[in-house]
Amino acid sequence: MDLRELVEESFRGRGLTPGREDLEAVLRDLVRWRGPEGADRILRTADGSLTLLSGAFGEPYHSVSAGAVRECLHKFLAPSGLLNRKGRVRILDVGFGLGYNVAVAFYHLRKRDPSLEIEVVSLERELPARIPVLPEPYREAHRKVLSLLPSGEREGFRIHLLMGDARQSVSSVRGFKAHAVFHDPFSPYRNPELWTLEFLRKVREAMDPSGVWVSYTSSLPVRRALLDLGFRVGGSAPLGRKRSGTVATLRGDPPPLSVGEKVRLRKSPYSVPFRDPDLREDPLRILIEYRVSVLLREKEVSSEGEREPPPQSS
Ligand SMILES: C[S@@+](CC[C@H](N)C(=O)[O-])C[C@H]1O[C@@H](n2cnc3c(N)ncnc32)[C@H](O)[C@@H]1O
């Protein structure tokens, strides 16, 4: 089936026949969100560190405009609150990728407290053929993390890399209660299967009640899903982009969202979660179902006289 037929099928599944304009509006967003595919290649980011452009996802592993290391520090480690923990820290790392988030966290946590016990569970489907090593002062920490893969322990640092689709491997993380979740798949519109209500519910089950979930995204469907799952949702400081990342907690208050962001979360037709009831859905179908739901909500909203521009892909 081609894309048009898949979209028509989604409408039919809801007992509807789409008009031409509605169909075109849905198709336009889907084509834009999916983006180009190509070959992997190495890129230099704004802070001088390297990253990889994923050919399959048409997106870099880290923000090129913010800098890969700065993104690890400001979108993940700092808002996670891990630097204030004592004794032992447990991290659930969704999307190990190049291992930068883990290595940067390891370096700074160890520097602050050399006796800290650090335990990491990473979920990853496919490691890239070549991983650029982080620059100083992170080089040694990064090499150490990579040398312990897939599982290993040295001097109070333990890592366990679970290879495969995170939607399934997350269920084997029993008994591990994360103090922080580094949620770092590719962007929601490119990698929707790791941003659904159902997957985030699984992630929540793997969190300690005092845990903090952090991500670079400010995406409405993601924040909506977190709220629906009972998280308190806030924002991390903006970095090289107009909007903030997301911090979500189960208890304790995250840094507040702006008034504008709260209004968008309440009113925008795009504020509806991605769905994947059996955690096996094809990513394209997740996007189609989402976009058709948005269209139906848009119609309700526009009949009340409001309009919302479609979101960008991250
Ligand atoms: C943005 S990169 C992660 C960057 C990484 N956190 C780092 O600091 O280097 C996203 C990662 O998610 C992985 N990924 C995407 N879909 C996945 C899935 N369904 N299951 C497991 N991993 C997945 C990709 O292979 C990729 O390595």
Question: Which residue owns the Cα nearest ligand 1 atom 27?
Answer: 97
At 175-209, the pLDDT tens digits run: 999 999 999 999 999 999 999 999 999 999 999 99
Q: Taking 60 as the threshold, does the pLDDT of residue 305 lie above it?
A: no
pLDDT of residue 1: 80
Q: Cβ distance 207 to 181 under 8 Å?
A: yes
CATH topology of domain 67-281: Rossmann fold (3.40.50)
Q: Taking 60 as the threshold, does the pLDDT of residue 314 lie above it?
A: no
Question: Which residue owns the Cα nearest ligand 1 atom 12?
Answer: 95
Ligand 1 atom nearest residue 193's Cα: 19
The answer to whether the predicted template modeling score (pTM) of the entire model surpasses 0.75 is yes
Mean pLDDT of 223-238: 96
Mean pLDDT of 241-265: 91
- Helices H, strands E: what count in the chain? 11, 11
pLDDT of residue 264: 95
pLDDT of residue 174: 84
190 CA to middle of ligand 1, Å? 11
Q: Taking 60 as the threshold, does the pLDDT of residue 307 lie above it?
A: no
Higher-pLDDT residue of 291 and 244 is 291
Residue ranges covered by each domain of the chain: 1-34+285-314, 67-281
Distance CA 300, CA 104 (A): 46
With a CB cutoff of 8 Å and minimum separation 6, the contacts of 182 are: 76, 80, 91, 92, 93, 94, 101, 102, 105, 214, 215
Determine the residue of 125, 127, 282 to mutate for testing ligand 1's pocket, defined as the one with the most ligand atoms within 8 A of the Cβ atom.
125
Question: Which residue owns the Cα nearest ligand 1 atom 4?
Answer: 97
Distance CA 95, CA 187 (A): 11
124 CA to middle of ligand 1, Å? 6
pLDDT of residue 267: 94
Tell me which H or E stretch contains 210. Answer: strand 207-215
At 5-44, the pLDDT tens digits run: 999 999 999 999 999 999 999 999 999 998 788 899 999 9
Q: CA torsion angle for 159, 133, 116, 153 (degrees, to 10)?
A: 30
pLDDT of residue 242: 59
99 CA to middle of ligand 1, Å? 10
Question: Which residue owns the Cα nearest ligand 1 atom 3?
Answer: 97
Question: Which residue owns the Cα nearest ligand 1 atom 13?
Answer: 95
Residues whose beta carbon lies within 6 Å of some atom of ligand 1: 61, 95-101, 123-126, 165-166, 184-186, 191, 193-194
92 CA to middle of ligand 1, Å? 13
